[in-house]
C-alpha cells in the first residue's frame, strides 16, 4: 500500500564537518517544512555545536527524534578527516537500514564530502553508490529536479577523460528505461525523454567524435523499438532551453557537469537530487558541504526543505516496505 498521510522521514546530517548539521537544524525549524515524523541520524555533538554557535533549536525541541551516531574521534570543523567520513557513512547506512526494514518511509540526506569518505577507507564516491550497495542493486540513477528541468545522468562521479569509455549502449538503455519507468512519480503528464549528445554539434556526423553514431543512436533505436518516447542525441547547448520550455519531460545527460550546470543555473538552492531505482525513496540537496562558510552561520536550509517535501510526495506514491 502507498503511504497515505504522514511518511516517516529519515534525515541524515551528512558530513558533520560541513554545513550539514546547520542546515538540518534550519530545515527542521522552517515553517514550510512538511509536518511529518522526522528522525535525524548523525552525531548529536555536531548538532549541539551548531545550535550553540548560531542560536538554533535542537531537533528534540522541533519535534524530531535523534539517532545519535557517535564519531570515534574528534571531527575538525571545516576540514576533511577520516573521522568525519566514517561517522557520515555510518549515519547514512543506519538510516538506509531502517528504510530497508520499513522503520522509515524515505531518506533525505545532507551532503557528504568525497575526500573524507575516501580518507575513511570507503570506495564509494558518494551517496548514490553507497545506498545502491546497501540496497543490493546496481540499477540506479541520479536525477536532479528543479527550474523546470528533470535531468538524469548516465555517469556520475568520474573524470571527464573517462566518460567516453564509460558510455555503452547497454548502460544508456538501462538508465533511460529507468527514467521512463520512474517519470510518472514526478507528476510528468507524458514521458518524453531527450538524450544529450556527448560531443559538440552532436558529433557533426562523426567529425567531432563517434560516440553519437556508435553508442547513443543505437541505444535510442533499441528503446524506441520498445515503445519508449526518447529522441536525440541532441546538441546539449540548446537542448536544456527546449526542455525548460516544455518540449521534453526529462533530459538524460552524459556526465555530471553537462547535466548539473543547467539545473544549478536555473534553480541553485531550489533543486532536489533524487536517486532513481532504490527500494526506498531517497532525496538530497543540490549543493555540497560548504566548508568555506561552515563557521559563518549563513548556510541556507531551503534546498533541504525542498528535498523533504519531495521525499514526502514520492513516499506517498510509493509502496511502503513491510516492517521487520
The secondary structure of 103-155 as a DSSP string is: S-SEEEEPPP-HHHHHHTT---SSHHHHHHHHHT----EEEEEETTEEEEESS
Is the per-residue pLDDT at 185 higher than 70? yes
Q: What pLDDT score does 320 carry?
A: 46
Is the per-residue pLDDT at 257 higher than 80? yes
CA 38 to chain centre: 19
Lowest-confidence region among 2-6, 140-144, 274-278: 2-6
Q: Which residue, 165, 141, 170, is CA-closest to 153?
A: 141
pLDDT band at 252 (very low <50, low <70, confident <90, very high): very high
Span 119-147, average pLDDT: 95
Is the per-residue pLDDT at 3 higher than 60? no
> How many separate helices (H) and strands (E) can be counted in the chain?
12, 11
Element (H, E) at 68: strand 65-68
CA–CA gap between residue 324 and residue 321 (Å, rounded): 9
Q: What pLDDT score does 105 carry?
A: 97
Other CB atoms within 10 A of residue 224 CB:
12
Q: Using an 8 Å Cβ cutoff, are 64 and 40 in contact? A: yes
CA–CA gap between residue 312 and residue 10 (Å, rounded): 11
Is the per-residue pLDDT at 323 higher than 70? no
Collect contacts of 214-222 with beta carbons under 8 A, ≥24 apart.
215/167, 215/168, 215/169, 215/172, 216/167, 216/172, 218/169, 219/169, 219/172, 219/173, 219/176, 219/195, 220/195, 222/169, 222/173
Q: What pLDDT score does 319 carry?
A: 55
Q: Using an 8 Å Cβ cutoff, are 151 and 143 in contact? A: yes
Amino acid at each position: 500500500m502507498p503511504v497515505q498521510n504522514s511518511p516517516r522521514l529519515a534525515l541524515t546530517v551528512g558530513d558533520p564537518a560541513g554545513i550539514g548539521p546547520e542546515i538540518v537544524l534550519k530545515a527542521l525549524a522552517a515553517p514550510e517544512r512538511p509536518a511529518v515524523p522526522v528522525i535525524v541520524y548523525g552525531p548529536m555533538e555536531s548538532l549541539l555545536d551548531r545550535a550553540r554557535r548560531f542560536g538554533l533549536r535542537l531537533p528534540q525541541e522541533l519535534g524530531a527524534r535523534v539517532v545519535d551516531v557517535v564519531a570515534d574521534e574528534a571531527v575538525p570543523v571545516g576540514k576533511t578527516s577520516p573521522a568525519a567520513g566514517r561517522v557520515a557513512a555510518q549515519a547514512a547506512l543506519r538510516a538506509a537500514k531502517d528504510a530497508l526494514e520499513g522503520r522509515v518511509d524515505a531518506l533525505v540526506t545532507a551532503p557528504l564530502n568525497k575526500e573524507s569518505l575516501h580518507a575513511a577507507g570507503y570506495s564509494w564516491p558518494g551517496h548514490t553508490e553507497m545506498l545502491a550497495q546497501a540496497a543490493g542493486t546496481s540499477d540506479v540513477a541520479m536525477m536532479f529536479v528543479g527550474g523546470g528541468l528533470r535531468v538524469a545522468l548516465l555517469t556520475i562521479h568520474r573524470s571527464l577523460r573517462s566518460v567516453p569509455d564509460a558510455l555503452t549502449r547497454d548502460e544508456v538503455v538501462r538508465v533511460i528505461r529507468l527514467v521512463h519507468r520512474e517519470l510518472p512519480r514526478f507528476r510528468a503528464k507524458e514521458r518524453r525523454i531527450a538524450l544529450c549528445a556527448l560531443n559538440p554539434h552532436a558529433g557533426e556526423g562523426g567529425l567531432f567524435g563517434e560516440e553519437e553514431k556508435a553508442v547513443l543512436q543505437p541505444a535510442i533505436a533499441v528503446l524506441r523499438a520498445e515503445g519508449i518516447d526518447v529522441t536525440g542525441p541532441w546538441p546539449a547547448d540548446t537542448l536544456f532551453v527546449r526542455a525548460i520550455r516544455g518540449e521534453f519531460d526529462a533530459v538524460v545527460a552524459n556526465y555530471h557537469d553537462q547535466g548539473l550546470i543547467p539545473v544549478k543555473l536555473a534553480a541553485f538552492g531550489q533543486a532536489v537530487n533524487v536517486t532513481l531505482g532504490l527500494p526506498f525513496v531517497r532525496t538530497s540537496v543540490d549543493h555540497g558541504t560548504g566548508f568555506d562558510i561552515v563557521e559563518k552561520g549563513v548556510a541556507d536550509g531551503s534546498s533541504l526543505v525542498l528535498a523533504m517535501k519531495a521525499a514526502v510526495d514520492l513516499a506517498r506514491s510509493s509502496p511502503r516496505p513491510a516492517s521487520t
